Chains A and B, each alone.
Chain A
Amino acid sequence: MAESKTPLLDELETGKWPSFVKEMKQAAEKNPMARDLLDQLELSYKDKIGHWKHGGIVGVKGYGSGVIGRYSDRPDLFPNVQAFHTLRVNHPTGWFYKTDALRNLCDVWDKHGSGLTNMHGSTGDAILLGTRTEHLQSCFDDLSDAGFDLGGSGSALRTPSACVGPGRCEWACIDSLDVCYNITMSYQDKIHRPMFPYKFKIKVAACSNDCVASIARSDLSIIGTWKGDIQIDQNEVLAYAPTIDIQKEVCDLCPTRCMEWNGKELKIYNEDCNRCMHCINLMPKALRPGKEKGATILIGGKAPILQGALLSWVIVPFMKLEPPYTELKDLIERIQDWWDENAKSRERLGELIKRLGMRVFLRAVGLPAVPQMVKAPRTNPYVFFWPEEIKKEVK
């Protein structure tokens, strides 16, 4: 048996889970870029260092984002990956593809690139991995003909993303798909022409289960919620009783302890509910979100680079979200304008708020301080108020 050229990578195929190495080997059978990619990766494992040079070209006429330049630092050994640029393609909202759309996307990529994809990147885009510089424009043209556009990269508004929302989920409190699509179409210039201090991410979750993890991964999180009482069907609650320990699994795990169960009837003190949806998740036939639906707007979430990770912080406890979403878009523009004016280069919105203070932010964007803005329980809410306001209250 012939000796493998990639013994170190072969190790990665022996584990329990599907391996990207296996997929790359399959692609390598028909694409020399994928072959050289495998060999370069093997060298990286051997040398214990990456062999990529990042950055540079943005490639497509009129666009400043959507292409990430990548070059091999060993083109002498791996000429087919000398240029191996990534394209970020704006995914369909909620990641709903028709099969013909997926086929078209793959056909374009087989024609112009390595055939390797990452479906999807953490921002949500369909990531097409590896094409040469001379293919960038023609690949973009073919993608456009197939109905696709590039997504955001660099110091731009990144491709907004949303959960599947009302398309497939009975708990959706807002039409996350429509909100996301509307935002995407409204801010094309901000996505394609980077002019921000750094990246800015918007994610839309239709309920507080937050399936897109908007609270942890976006500078501006839009999370569906409701006002008023949780809808209860007591007969259905009783029907759950033989299969769920309602006291232990529902009431005792309620974070605000706002529920009582006497074996016959479930009582909810809605004024204490923080709409986490734990009870609704456990008893979906018995409990439903309240009837008046809208969204909570949160701000400042981000992953660790450059400072530590931050979770988003409530700035608007409840906003009605109806097309054309004027109130939301006005707020987004005020926020981005303040951030654009005040942030240092490569400073995310959450970091800027941390540096200058939430009360400075609230005053700048014209939002009132309200109790729901307390970042964590048992912290002092008065940090939001200006000295003159406290004096006024004391009088």
Chain B
Amino acid sequence: MSENLKKHIVELFHEKSKGDKKMFYIRDVTKWLPDEDRHAIQDAVKELLDEEVLKYWSSGSSTYLILAEFFPKEEPCS
């Protein structure tokens, strides 16, 4: 697994997350890197998920990716 690719993906996530939009489809990530192999990007994203740099956010029907630091905090149950 290319550490450079992972690093690049994380940089892109930070760059794209500067606005209000923090959640992205995997399709968005592959579009950011049109010259990279799609499968390599997916594998890199899976590693970043394992390392908890990225997190899944699921609506139930669709799944998004989000930087862990932006994952919505849950209010404690009373």
Interface residues of A (CB under 8 A from B): 54-58, 62, 64-65, 67-69, 75, 79, 82-83, 86, 132-134, 153-156, 193-199, 305, 340-341, 343-346
B57: nearest residue on chain A (CB-CB)? A56
Among A134, A154, A156, A195, contact of B59 (Cβ-Cβ < 8 Å): A154
Q: How far is the CA of A55 from the CA of B68 in the complex (A)?
A: 16
Q: How far is the CA of A99 from the CA of B55 in the complex (A)?
A: 37
Chain B 38-78 residues near chain A, CB threshold 8 A: 38, 42, 45-46, 49-50, 55-63, 72, 74-75, 77-78
User: In angstroms, how far is the closest chain A Cβ from the Cβ of B24?
Assistant: 9
A83 and B77 contact, Cβ closer than 8 Å, known pairs A65-B63, A155-B26: yes
A154 B56 Cβ-Cβ under 8 A: yes
Among B28, B45, B60, B75, contact of A82 (Cβ-Cβ < 8 Å): B75
Among A55, A56, A156, A195, contact of B42 (Cβ-Cβ < 8 Å): A195
| B21 / chain A contacts, CB cutoff of 8 Å | none
B60 A153 Cβ-Cβ under 8 A: yes
Among B27, B50, B59, contact of A345 (Cβ-Cβ < 8 Å): B27
User: In angstroms, how far is the closest chain B Cβ from the Cβ of A35?
Assistant: 15
User: In angstroms, how far is the closest chain B Cβ from the Cβ of A123?
Assistant: 11
B residues contacting the other copy or chain, number (CB 8 A): 24
A69 and B78 contact, Cβ closer than 8 Å, known pairs A195-B46, A341-B38: no
A68 and B62 contact, Cβ closer than 8 Å, known pairs A75-B75, A197-B25, A341-B38: no
Task: List the count of A-B residue pairs having beta carbons below 8 Å apart.
Answer: 87
B45 A153 Cβ-Cβ under 8 A: no
B72: nearest residue on chain A (CB-CB)? A56
Most buried by A among B26, B45, B46, B58: B58
Interface residues of B (CB under 8 A from A): 25-28, 38, 42, 45-46, 49-50, 55-63, 72, 74-75, 77-78
A153 B58 Cβ-Cβ under 8 A: yes
B74 A55 Cβ-Cβ under 8 A: no
A-B contacts, 20 of them at CB < 8 A, read A55-B59, A56-B58, A56-B72, A58-B63, A62-B50, A67-B58, A79-B78, A82-B75, A133-B74, A154-B56, A154-B61, A155-B26, A193-B49, A194-B58, A194-B63, A197-B25, A199-B61, A305-B61, A345-B25, A345-B27
| A343 / chain B contacts, CB cutoff of 8 Å | 27
| A198 / chain B contacts, CB cutoff of 8 Å | 61-62
| A341 / chain B contacts, CB cutoff of 8 Å | 38
| A58 / chain B contacts, CB cutoff of 8 Å | 55-58, 63
A69 B46 Cβ-Cβ under 8 A: no
Overall SS of chain A's interface: loop
B60 A193 Cβ-Cβ under 8 A: no
The 6 closest A-B pairs by CB, nearest first: A154-B63, A55-B59, A194-B63, A68-B60, A64-B56, A155-B63
B49: nearest residue on chain A (CB-CB)? A64
B58 A65 Cβ-Cβ under 8 A: yes
Most buried by A among B57, B61, B63, B75: B63
B78 A68 Cβ-Cβ under 8 A: no
| A305 / chain B contacts, CB cutoff of 8 Å | 61
B28: nearest residue on chain A (CB-CB)? A345
Q: How far is the CA of A341 from the CA of B38 in the complex (A)?
A: 8
| A55 / chain B contacts, CB cutoff of 8 Å | 57-60
Q: How far is the CA of A55 from the CA of B27 in the complex (A)?
A: 19
Q: How far is the CA of A57 from the CA of B72 in the complex (A)?
A: 9
| A195 / chain B contacts, CB cutoff of 8 Å | 26, 42, 45-46
Most buried by B among A58, A69, A195, A343: A195
| A340 / chain B contacts, CB cutoff of 8 Å | 38
B59 A82 Cβ-Cβ under 8 A: no
Most buried by A among B45, B60, B74, B75: B60
B62 A155 Cβ-Cβ under 8 A: yes
B59 A75 Cβ-Cβ under 8 A: no
B45: nearest residue on chain A (CB-CB)? A195
